Amino acid sequence: MKKVKSVLSKLIYKTNRYIDELIFPFSENGKKLNSLKNAHINKRCFIIGNGPSLKNEDLDKLQNEITFAFNRIYYIFDKTDWRPTYYCSEDDKTIFNSREEINKLAIDYKFFPKNFPRDYKIQFNNARYYLFKFCDRNIEPKFSEDIVKGIYWGNTVVYTAIQLAVYMGIKEIYLVGVDHNFSKMVNDKGEIIIDNTTKDYFTEEYNKDKNDLYIPNVEVSTRAFIAAKNFADENNIKIYNATRGGKLEVFERVNFDNIDFKKERLII
């Protein structure tokens, strides 16, 4: 009897999820995403990772730029007046452990996978929810040309932000603080790689709960970055790595200090 109930429960869940995804483009969430189509046509943006190379003085220079930031970026807010234009978080363990801090962020545009309100009953202020699409983690993921239909998982929220930026019409993307390297990683073979000389984030406070979080697999993330580069190259979009150091070599590197930053504040 228990087995029958379990099978029935899974069937009901899958059916409800299928219906939810089918009507999503016509829902309020779908319409909110659709309104962002070409919102920044032919503009540039900066995607901010949380790596140890991230400097608050660099963020100060991005006050007037279109920026995307993630997860526990708020740990640097007391050191800079900069705030991101867009905020994204999709890692369930990070969200479970930081939902109160995330909800309090005074950011007008926050992006999360739809499964948080649907499956976990977690709602956020100023939220835009999107459908998360999963592919075979052993190959390059697909790249979404229409985020209303879904955003493809790439084992890094940076990949999500790149898909968002492209949907918004952005043609020039700079990565900052995307070190693509951690003190503890897992490879495709399931082997754990430890390097105690490496810092994970811009502050030690960031991952005090590291033992509760997922161990990153940068091989999967690298495939996502390659997918992003391939799509960008085919669609006249430039993606540059302006990170200070780090180990991400998929994109052309540029010197952050040589970028000419905007002097006027962005209004959206």
**pLDDT of residue 266 exceeding 70:** no
Question: What pLDDT was estimated at residue 12?
Answer: 62
Considering all CA atoms of the chain, what is the largest pairwise distance in Å, rounded to the nearest integer? 67
- Whether 252 is in a domain gets the answer yes
What residue numbers bound the domain in which 177 lies? 2-258
- Whether 263 is in a domain gets the answer no
- Whether 222 is in a domain gets the answer yes
Rounded CA separation 98/27 (Å):
27
3-state secondary structure of 36: coil
Q: What is the dihedral of CA 92, 45, 86, 138, to 10 degrees?
A: -20
Q: What are the counts of helices (DSSP H) followed by strands (DSSP E) for the chain?
A: 7, 12
**What is the token pair recorded at 222?**
């690298």
- Whether 265 is in a domain gets the answer no
**pLDDT of residue 267 exceeding 70:** no
* Cα dihedral sign, 116-118-122-125: positive
pLDDT digits (tens, 9 = 90+) for 98-145: 999 999 999 999 999 999 999 999 999 999 999 999 988 889 999 999
The β-bridge relationship of strands 86-88 and 67-70 is parallel
- Whether 101 is in a domain gets the answer yes
- Whether 107 is in a domain gets the answer yes
Rounded CA separation 155/216 (Å):
8
The β-bridge relationship of strands 172-176 and 238-241 is parallel
CATH code of the domain in which 116 resides = 3.90.1480
**pLDDT of residue 31 exceeding 90:** yes
Contact 173, 26 (CB under 8 A): no
Contact 46, 176 (CB under 8 A): yes
Burial class (CB in 10 A: 0-12, 13-18, 19+), 166: buried
| CA 210 vs CA 94, 156, 213, 259: distances in Å | 10, 16, 5, 34
- Whether 266 is in a domain gets the answer no
pLDDT digits (tens, 9 = 90+) for 80-97: 999 999 999 999 999 999
Q: What secondary structure letter does DSSP report for 112?
A: E
Angle between helices 218-234 and 157-167 (to 10 degrees): 20
Rounded CA separation 183/82 (Å):
28
pLDDT digits (tens, 9 = 90+) for 183-205: 999 999 999 999 999 999 999 99
Closest of 144, 122, 126, 148 to residue 135, by C-alpha: 144
- Whether 267 is in a domain gets the answer no
- The number of CA neighbours under 13 Å toward the Cβ of 190 is 0
Contact 102, 123 (CB under 8 A): no
Q: Structurally, how many domains does the chain consist of?
A: 1
User: 213 pLDDT band (50/70/90 cuts)?
Assistant: confident
